Amino acid sequence: MDEEVTVIAGTLAFGLGENFVEAALKPFPAGSYILMPAKMSHFAKAQGETVVQINAQGPFVLTYVNPADDPRQGSSQ
């Protein structure tokens, strides 16, 4: 599903691709709207204290390119 991200406060940096590349991050300040199409690999990093709102048609599922990066690993979901 498409993911719609609105930056409420602070700055959220987004990059495209399957690997996190700091130099590829583009900052989006408060008030920004980002549409991430379904199945588009991307990564993000908050720059300081940041508040975002994420909207999507459910059910919403996160798929990690590298399953080891999933913070839910090892927890009882």
Q: What separation in angstroms does the CA of 32 have from each of 7, 20, 43, 54, 71?
A: 5, 21, 16, 12, 26
User: Residue 29: which domain range?
Assistant: 3-69
Residue 16 covered by a domain: yes
The dihedrals phi and psi of 46, each to the nearest 5 degrees, come to -75, 140
Residue 76 covered by a domain: no
In this prediction, residue 32 carries a pLDDT of 98
Higher model confidence: residue 40 or residue 76? 40
**Residue holding tokens 């080891």?**
68
Residue 45 covered by a domain: yes
Tens digit of pLDDT for each residue in 18-70? Answer: 989 999 999 999 999 999 998 899 999 999 999 999 998 877 778 888 888 88
In this prediction, residue 74 carries a pLDDT of 66
pLDDT above 60 for 77: no
Residue 26 covered by a domain: yes
Number of domains in the chain: 1
In this prediction, residue 71 carries a pLDDT of 85
In this prediction, residue 75 carries a pLDDT of 56
